[in-house]
Chain A
Amino acid sequence: MTMIDEKTIKDHGLTLEEYASIVRLIGKAPNLTELGIFSVMWSEHCAYKSSRVYLKGLPTKGKHVIQGPGENAGILDIGDGLAVVFKIESHNHPSFIEPYQGAATGVGGILRDIFTMGARPIAVLNSLRFGPLDNPGNRAIMEGVVSGIAGYGNSIGIPTVGGEIAFEEGYSLNPLVNVFALGLVEKDKIFYAKAEGTGNPVLYVGAKTGRDGIHGATMASAEFGKDTEHKRPNVQVGDPFKEKLLLEACLEVMSTDMIVGIQDMGAAGLTCSTTEMAAKAGAGMEIDLDLVPQREEGMTPYEIMLSESQERMLICAKKEKVGEVQAIFAKWDLDAVVIGHVTEGGRLKVKSKGEDVVDIPVDAVVNLCPVYRRPIKTPEFLRKVSKLPEIPLPADLNEVFFKVISSPTIADKEWIFRQYDHMIQINTALLPGADAAVLRIKGSKKALAMSLDGNSLYTYLDPRQGARIAVSEACRNLACVGARPIGVTNCLNFGNPEKPEVMWQFKEAVGGMAEACRAFEIPVTGGNVSFYNDTEGASIHPTPVLGIVGIIEDIGKALRPGFRTAGDAVILLGENKEELGGSEYLKICAGLQKGVPPGIDLAVERKVHELCLEAITEGLLRSAHDVSDGGLAVCLAECAFHSGKRLGCSIDLGDRIRTDALLFGESQSRIVVTAGPRRAGKVLALARKRKVKARVIGRTGGRDIIVRVRRREVVRIPVGDAFKAWKESIPSRYKIKE
Chain B
Amino acid sequence: MKFGVVMLPGSNCDHDTFHVLKNVIGRDTVFLWHKDHDLQGVDAVVLPGGFSYGDYLRSGAIARFSPLMQEVKAFARRGGHVLGICNGFQILLELGLLPGAMLRNKDLKFLCQFIHVRIENNRTDFTRAGKKGQVLRIPIAHFDGNYYAPDKVIEDIRANKQIVFRYCDADGKVTDEANVNGSMDGIAGLMNARGNVMGLMPHPERASEALLGSEDGQVIFRSLIEVLEHKGRKAR
Contacts and interface: CB of A to CB of B under 8 A. Distances in A.
B211 A429 contact: yes
B9 A245 contact: yes
A428 B212 contact: yes
B19 A426 contact: yes
B141 A154 contact: yes
A239 interface: yes
Contacts of A154: 51, 110, 112, 141, 143
Most buried by B among A154, A332, A555: A154
Interface in B17-73: 19-20, 23, 50-51, 53-56
B54 A425 contact: no
Contact of B211 (A333, A417, A555): A555
A144 to B, nearest CB: 13
B111 A418 contact: yes
B158 to A, nearest CB: 30
A405 B111 CA distance: 25
Interface in A407-439: 414, 417-426, 428-429, 431
A357 interface: no
A426 B53 contact: no
Contact of B9 (A150, A239, A244, A429): A244
Given A155-B10, A332-B9, A423 B141 contact: yes
A241 interface: yes
B9 A442 contact: no
A470 B19 CA distance: 38
Interface string A150-171: 1000111100000000000000
B160 interface: no
A119 to B, nearest CB: 15
Given A419-B110, A422-B112, A429-B212, A239 B54 contact: yes
B9 A419 contact: no
B211 A423 contact: no
Nearest to B112: A421
Contacts of B10: 155, 157, 241, 244-245
A527 interface: no
Contacts of A417: 112
Interface string A596-608: 0000000000000
A414 B206 CA distance: 19
A240 interface: yes
Contacts of A421: 110, 112, 141
A440 interface: yes
Nearest to B52: A241
A424 B49 CA distance: 10
B125 interface: no
B212 A240 contact: no
A426 B20 contact: yes
A686 B209 CA distance: 34
A147 B211 CA distance: 29
B16 interface: yes
A418 B113 contact: yes
Interface residues of B, number: 30
Contacts of B15: 425
Nearest to B212: A426
A241 B87 CA distance: 14
A252 B205 CA distance: 25
Nearest to B213: A431
A424 B56 contact: no
B204 to A, nearest CB: 11
A440 B110 CA distance: 25
Nearest to A417: B112
Nearest to B53: A241
Given A423-B206, A424-B12, A425-B15, A418 B55 contact: no
Nearest to A422: B112
A426 B51 contact: no
B139 interface: yes
Contacts of A156: 12
Nearest to A440: B211
Contacts of A241: 9-10, 51, 53-56
B112 A155 contact: no
Contact of B112 (A244, A333, A420, A426): A420
A342 B25 CA distance: 50
Contacts of B194: none
Nearest to A430: B213
A54 B54 CA distance: 43
Contacts of B13: 157, 424
Nearest to B9: A245
B16 A424 contact: yes
Contacts of B141: 154, 421, 423-424
Contacts of A332: 9
A241 B109 CA distance: 19
B225 to A, nearest CB: 20
Contacts of B209: 426
Contacts of B55: 155, 241
Nearest to B56: A241
A424 B11 CA distance: 11
Interface in A133-158: 147, 150, 154-157
30 contacts: A150-B110, A154-B110, A154-B112, A154-B141, A155-B12, A155-B54, A155-B55, A157-B13, A157-B51, A239-B54, A240-B51, A241-B54, A244-B9, A244-B12, A244-B54, A245-B9, A332-B9, A333-B9, A414-B113, A418-B111, A420-B112, A423-B141, A423-B203, A424-B16, A425-B16, A426-B16, A426-B19, A426-B209, A429-B211, A431-B213
Interface of B: 9-10, 12-13, 15-16, 19-20, 23, 50-51, 53-56, 109-113, 139, 141, 143, 203, 205-206, 209, 211-213
Top 10 closest pairs, chain A to chain B, by CB: A157-B12, A241-B54, A155-B51, A421-B141, A426-B16, A421-B112, A419-B110, A418-B113, A423-B206, A150-B110
Interface of A: 147, 150, 154-157, 239-242, 244-245, 332-333, 414, 417-426, 428-429, 431, 440, 442, 555
Given A155-B12, A239-B54, A421-B112, 12 more contacts: A157-B10, A157-B50, A241-B56, A244-B10, A414-B113, A417-B112, A419-B110, A419-B112, A420-B110, A426-B19, A426-B20, A426-B209
